[in-house]
Structure 1
Amino acid sequence: MEAVQDPGLSPAAQLAAVLRDRLADEYGPGTEIEGLVRLSAGASRETWSFDAVKPDGSRQLLILKRDPMARQVDKKFEGVPEGRLAVGRLVEGRLLQLAREAGTPAPVIPFMLNKDGRTTEGFFSHRLEGETLGRRILREDAYAAARPKLAFAVGHAAARFHGIPLDQLPPMRGLPAAEELLHYRTIMDSFHQPHAGFEYGFRWLEERLELAGERYALCHGDYRNGNIIVDAEGLAGVLDWESAHLGNPSSDLGWMCVRSWRYGYHDKVVGGFGTVQELLAGYEAGGGGRIDEEEIHFWQVFGTLRWGVLCMILGFTHLDGEQRTVEYAVIGRRAAETEYDLLQLLD
């Protein structure tokens, strides 16, 4: 059954009615919804923050993440792994539960929201306090004590969710490194634009695929500064699992090292806050085993190339008139910046 927006109600009012009914099942009849506000305006998902006021007057601070009510076909990532491997909201919620149980800092997922005629599917999480914007994490005094701990902490957290047994995971898709690389090459070639730096990157990776490693595990898929939440003490949670898939876990660590996620703090390779040595020390301490820095470098190169192709996709989405936005135009210009970053890694 497809969810339908009631034309007589605002989206927030319709959702509030859905939430009252759903939370009555969990907290009891008479549960009220206060402070309902949408936190994101993305086409691929909705994120809402609100307080559930229970019948006894106590409050539970919650986040709802669900699929958008208005069905939107987002074509820009159809041909790349980001689109083909994306998980649904119920799977994402289950992965957060498993990650938390495994020892990864993550919000509590108390229950799910099933799709019906009034709503799309989603999941609820307890609201964490802290900062998610990468630039603020790196610049604001409130996180000064946390920053020196973060590289070790994100390594440790990754080891915990990478270690979740495959037979405990919900059905998910996977992609070997060679096949993933071929997908990105095919996309880049389809633009018929000369990018010698990217071509060099493809050739470099193709000739060194043995460095990718042979491990196979749950991968976050977008593990970077910007998808974590940090408080004054350190890493408070790992968020945004919609790109999760099965693959080589070192790809997550390499993605964390991509220059674009350092927000100007380029002397600290890992997220703008630490070193690869600290990252790998945390990973080993978390039970992930030892990883050669050469393998991380391979995946850092791969991640940089991947981001460059994604920048091209967004740029051409704007130029072709499919979805003209200033954001896509700005990101599209970053393809040249990423090409430069790639050449620096291969120098």
Structure 2
Amino acid sequence: MGAEANPIAAPLDAAVRRHIKGTTGIANLRRLSGGASQETWSFDATTEGSPIPLILRRAPGGDRAPSGTAAGLETEARLIELAGEVDVPIPPVRLVLSEADGVGRGFIMDRVEGETIARKILRDEEFAAARPILARQCGEILAKLHTVDMAKLPPLRTSTAHAEIDQYFQTYKTHNHPHPVFDLAFRWLRDHAPSDATKLTLVHGDFRHGNLMIGPDGVRAVLDWELAHIGDPMEDLAWICVNSWRFGNIDNPVGGFGKREDLFAGYEAAGGGRVDPERVKFWEVLGTLKWGVMCTTMVMAFKAGDRSVERATIGRRSSETEVDLMRLLAPRKKG
């Protein structure tokens, strides 16, 4: 859809000219396919010189309030700013939109060049030099993220290990479709949950492929802070190790590109404190189970009438998480 035919083009043009110094308008406005819960738009702010590449992250339709576990777009923008203060690579936020701007809820940030598609990152020659260093980089980034001053945080939900177990167990039970492997995993998680007294930090909540902008030099930006919350920092280290985010490269536990040892070493070297491998394993089991429950949620949506191919294909992946859980929970061999 061209800018001239887009109903948000005129108010976005006006907002950019009003708030971003030196701009004369916008060009090349187009909606991107990424973003399951929020709209993502790419455009350039025109100037007397070179254009400024920008991204608009906007609520669907412009006015949908955050729901469930979502942090909210205004909160996301603030978290990005705070992460940048501790040297986490982020796309700088240029503008948080107000109602008077007429564009809807959202914010504008710099457009960082790179790739988010796992298949390309894991296979293309362009990223061959980056792959061996990504795991350590991820550890270093998470160590910095977990040092964000808690006193500066906007209001966020707090979710301990026990709270996460309870939340996803209740969701699972509403499906009224037993999965013996899921039941086993819930029992194991309750037996191995870290204490609620565990030190909590800011947690990204969805640190994985798709939310990392990667170039030939490595990670360039951490994206999509919608699921950020206050929680156990080991949760972030574990989520990127969940097998579903390895995209077939199961022998490289960290995102399909690296080893846990490199992830942990980067985290500790960058000041993240000592990594507790057993706590990481707990969160990897919970992350795997959580994704399995989310897949079955897609099944329920499909059965309720949403006959999209996406719902059906994601829904059937719950069986993959059952295999992953059995591998994780199998007794370890001695020696």
Q: TM over 0.5: same fold?
A: yes
Query: Corresponding residue for 1:170?
Result: 154
Please state whether the residue corresponding to 1:317 is helix, strand or coil: helix
Root-mean-square deviation (CA, aligned residues, Å) is 2.1
Alpha carbons of structure 1 residues 196 and 73: separation in structure 2 relative to 1, 3 Å: farther
1:51: which partner in 2? 44
Q: Corresponding residue for 1:78?
A: none
> 8 Å contact 1:12–1:36 — kept in the other structure?
no
Corresponding residue number in structure 1 for 2:318: 335
Displacement of 1:315 after TM fit? Answer: 1.4
Give 2:55's match in structure 1, choosing from 51, 63, 82. 63
1: CA distance between counterparts of 2:101 and 2:107? 17
In structure 1, runs of 5+ residues without a counterpart are 1-8, 75-82
Paired residue secondary structure (1:254): helix
Paired AA for residue 340 in structure 1: V
Shift of 1:157: 0.5
Shift in alpha-carbon separation, 1:169–1:11, aligned structure 2, 3 A: farther
Sort the Cα spacing of 1:212 and 1:345 in 2 relative to 1 into closer, same or farther, 3 A. Answer: farther
Name the residue aligned to 1:157. 141
- Say if 1:128 and 1:114 are closer, same or farther in 2 by CA, change over 3 A: same
Partner SS for 1:236: strand
Any conservation in 2 of the 1:226–1:261 contact (CA below 8 Å)? no
What is the Cα deviation at residue 71 of structure 1?
5.6
* Cα separation, 2, equivalents of 1:213 and 1:272: 32
Q: How far is the alpha carbon of 1:11 from its aligned partner? A: 9.3
Measured after TM superposition, the shift of residue 303 of structure 1 is 0.3
Give the match's secondary structure for 1:158.
helix
Alignment length (residue pairs):
329
- Paired position in structure 1 for 2:178: 194
How far off its partner does 1:270 sit? 0.5
The CA deviation string for residues 36-89 of structure 1, in whole angstroms up to 9 with x for no partner, is 1101375631110011111x2331110010112266699xxxxxxxx5221111
Q: CA deviation at 1:120?
A: 1.3
- Give the Cα–Cα distance (whole angstroms) in 2 for the partners of residues 29 and 110 of structure 1: 13
Which shows bigger deviation, 232-241 or 43-52? Answer: 43-52
Cα distance in 2 between the residues matched to 1:86 and 1:11: 32
Deviating more after overlay: 206-215 vs 117-126 = 206-215
Instruction: Give the TM-score of the pair, scaled to structure 2.
Output: 0.93
Is the CA contact 2:62–2:105 (under 8 Å) kept in the aligned structure 1? Answer: no
Match of 2:269 among 274, 280, 285: 285
Distance in 1 separating the partners of 2:132 and 2:34:
32
Is 1:229 the equivalent of 2:221?
A: no
Aligned to 1:13: 6
Counterpart Cα distance in 1 of 2:317 and 2:251: 20
Written as runs of structure 1 = structure 2, the 5 A alignment for 1:1-347 is 13-27=6-20, 31-40=24-33, 44-54=37-47, 56-69=48-61, 84-116=68-100, 118-210=102-194, 214-321=198-305, 323-347=306-330
Between 1:190-199 and 1:28-37, the stretch displaced more is 28-37
Q: Distance in 2 between matches of 1:117 and 1:98?
A: 24
Distance 1:309 1:11 in 2: 43
CA shift at 1:189, angstroms? Answer: 1.4
Aligned 8 A contact 1:130 1:229 in 2: yes
Structure 2 unaligned runs (5+)?
Answer: 331-335
1:290-342 Cα offsets, whole Å, 9 max, x none, are 11211111110010000000000011111121x22110111110111111111
Structure 1 position 14, deviation (Å): 2.2
Cα distance in 2 for partners of 1:72, 1:95 equals 20
Sequence identity, in percent?
A: 43
Tell whether the 8 Å contact from 1:69 to 1:119 is kept in structure 2 after alignment: no
Deviation at 1:117, TM superposition (A): 7.5
Give 1:107 shift.
Answer: 1.0
Structure 1 distance, partners of 2:100, 2:37, is 18
Contact 2:161 2:194 in 1 (8 A): no
Q: Deviations over 1:144-188 (max 9, x none)?
A: 000101000111111111110110111111122112101111111
